[in-house]
Amino acid sequence: MNADEFLAVLRSRRSVRRFRAGSVSRDVLEQLIAHAAWAPSAGNRQDWFFVVVTREETKRALGEAVRQRWAEIVAANRGFSGIGEVERYAARFSDCAAAPALIAVACRETDELQQRLLGPDADAVTGSIASAAMAAQNLMLAAHALGLGSCCYTGALAARAALTTLLDLPRRCALVCLIGVGFPDEQPHAPARKPVARIAKFVE
C-alpha cells in the first residue's frame, strides 16, 4: 500500500451504526486487536486492555445498563431546557448492543504515586488514556481496511461503573470507549470537516 492508498483508507472511514446480520470471525477479531497493539503508547508500556464481546446476552446487558443510566440522567434533569434533545441523542448510545461484536478499550489507571506527584495532570502526563485512544483508532482503521464497519461509543461511558462490572475488567483498569464492529449495512456520507485554518494555529 502506497501513501495515497493509505490516506484513502484514512479519509474513507466512516462511523457505521447499522450492521448486517452475521458474526465476525474470531480470527478477524484477533487481527483487529493485533493491529490496535501497533499504536504508539506512552513509554512503550502498551498498558491497554481489550474485552471482545460477541455473546448476545452480555451485549444486551451492556446496552440495557447504558439505557438505564441515561434514563436516570434525563429524569434527574427534566426541568432543564434542551433536555429533550439530550434524550433523543442519548437514545443512540445503547445501540452499541446491536453490533455483531462489541470491543471495550481500557487502560491502566494512574497509581497513587502518580496521582500524588502530578495531581489533576496525572492522566494527561502518564498518557495511558491517550495511548488507548490511539489503539482504538488503529483498530477502526484496520476494520475499515478489512471491509468492516465500526463506531466508537463514548456516550455509553455514562454507565461506566456498570459496564466495568459486566465486562469484568481487571483491577485498576479504566474503560476508555466501546467500539461496535461488524459488516456495514449503510454507507454514511462524509460529514463536512472544519478547514485547517479554523482548527490549527502555526507558531513559526
The predicted-structure confidence for 22-35, as pLDDT tens digits, reads as follows 999 999 999 999 99
Domain 15-76+85-187, what fold? NADH Oxidase (3.40.109)
Please state the length of the chain: 204
Classify residue 168 by its DSSP letter. Answer: T
Contact indicator for 52, 101 with CB cutoff of 8 Å: yes
**Helices 26-36/128-145 angle, 10° precision:** 130
Q: Tell me, what amino acid is at 58?
A: T
Query: For residue 185, what pLDDT band results from cuts at 50, 70 and 90?
Result: very high
Q: Are 180 and 151 in contact (CB under 8 A)?
A: yes
Query: Please, which pLDDT band fits residue 165 given cuts at 50, 70 and 90?
Result: very high
With H, G, I as helix, E, B as strand and everything else as coil, classify residue 51. strand
